[in-house]
A = this chain, B = another copy of it.
Amino acid sequence: MKVGFIGLGAMGSAMASNLLAAGHGVTVWNRSEAATEPLASLGAKVARTADRAVLGDAVCSMLANDQAVRAVFLDSGLLDAMDPGTVHVNHATISVALARELAEAHAARGLEYVAAPVFGRPDAAAAARLNIVAAGKAAAIDKVRPLLDAMGARVWPMGETPERANVVKIAGNFMLAAAIESMAEASALTRAHGVGAADFLEVMTSTLFASPAYQGYGKLIAEERYSPAGFAMPLGLKDVGLALSAGEATRVPMPFAGVLRDNFLDALAHGGEALDWSALALVAARRAGLDKREDV
């Protein structure tokens, strides 16, 4: 299939590579051109301007946040450069509100729009092991199914309304942050009683919580290895903000999300800008004064 790919960060680059590996004709565009080179060497065509990357049957995009998606697709007039019937597959983690606005903007131009946020880090993206949550018209999803299959381990269909995929992604990221905070508070408690985080978390993540999320973040907390960040604090704050906004729009109180928000801010107010979001454990430990107690 002829497909454009817009947004070549760590995630996007890995995903585009897999499209190439699956034999698709891929035209890539990225705001800063340097990121296009590795893909060019794998056979991608490089577009000088974004509007040249949207001329195929489909265009995938993996941009950082609402602002980037808005700038590239809405404010720039890029949608007007796309032929009716083109399918835009948006992999970004964006707000429900923007998802809705995008769905309307595409529909108004006769474009197909599929929200397809992903669960998985860059290593999973490179291994084509992403879990892709997809929502949009069945025909549109069917059309881009070969692309999704080339990038992910599994596609989780969520119906025809694109924003449904986005809320699943947002709720899932909230669950990740809550899992981290849960380990942070629990291990602060055990540490204050003389049981190290590593000893405690080994029990939990080998038994009841033997899952990728807990094992991955549990290891970071046990080893206090928060840098380099796999997913940095400001992104955690941004994502819990998406959950809070989505909850506010639909009147869903989310007390855990409120706690998370405050703890991300606490982390950022204490120099945590570049730390992994699992450093919520540092916040819990600092509040308990564990960083200054000699015996823990």
Q: Is the CB of B199 within 8 A of A209?
A: no
Stretch in A1-9, A171-179, A222-230 touching the partner: A171-179
Distance in angstroms between the alpha carbons of A172 and B207 in the assembled complex = 10
Q: Is the CB of B212 within 8 A of A207?
A: yes
Contacts of A21 in B (CB 8 A): none
Distance in angstroms between the alpha carbons of A181 and B172 in the assembled complex = 13
A79 on the B face (CB < 8 A): no
A164 on the B face (CB < 8 A): yes
Contacts of A156 in B (CB 8 A): 202-203
Tell me how many chains of this kind the complex includes: 4
Closest to A268 in B: B251
Interface size on A, residues (CB 8 A): 77
A258 on the B face (CB < 8 A): yes
A32 on the B face (CB < 8 A): no
Contacts of A210 in B (CB 8 A): 211-212
Contacts of A261 in B (CB 8 A): 244, 248, 253, 258
Contacts of A178 in B (CB 8 A): 178-179, 181-182, 185-186, 256
Chain A 47-66: CB-based contact to B (< 8 A → 1; otherwise 0): 00000000000000000000
Please list the residues of chain A having a beta carbon within 8 angstroms of any beta carbon in chain B: 96, 119, 131, 133, 154, 156, 158-159, 161, 163-164, 167-168, 170-172, 174-176, 178-179, 181-183, 185-190, 192-195, 199-200, 202-204, 207-214, 237, 241, 243-244, 246-248, 250-259, 261-263, 265-266, 268-270, 284, 287-290
